[in-house]
């Protein structure tokens, strides 16, 4: 959360986002969001899990700036 613009702007940088994907297929396996807006942001992960989508869907998404969704994208980008 500390690396994302909106949480810094709001002064709410505590918490974290963890995204887990399958190393072979890249499919999203789960996500944990303990952060500001986490209760709303988790729904995008739930939708992708239900669609059996790869984590790259989040990684390659175009987000407006600044948003809390960018923090989720940052967590997925670290997956490699």
Catalytic: which of 27, 52, 63, 65?
Answer: 65
Is 65 among the residues known to form the active site?
yes
The neighbouring-strand residues paired with 35 are: 15
CA-atom Rg of the chain in angstroms: 12
- Give the integer Cα–Cα distance in Å for 74 and 28: 15
Catalytic residues: 65
């Amino acid at each position: 959360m500390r690396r994302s613009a909106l949480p810094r702007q709001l002064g709410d940088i505590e918490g974290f986002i963890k995204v887990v994907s399958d190393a072979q297929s890249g499919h999203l396996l789960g996500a944990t969001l303990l952060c500001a807006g986490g209760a709303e942001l988790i729904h995008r992960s739930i939708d992708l899990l239900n669609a059996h989508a790869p984590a790259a869907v989040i990684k390659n998404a175009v987000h407006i700036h600044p948003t809390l969704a960018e923090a989720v994208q940052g967590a997925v980008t670290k997956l490699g």
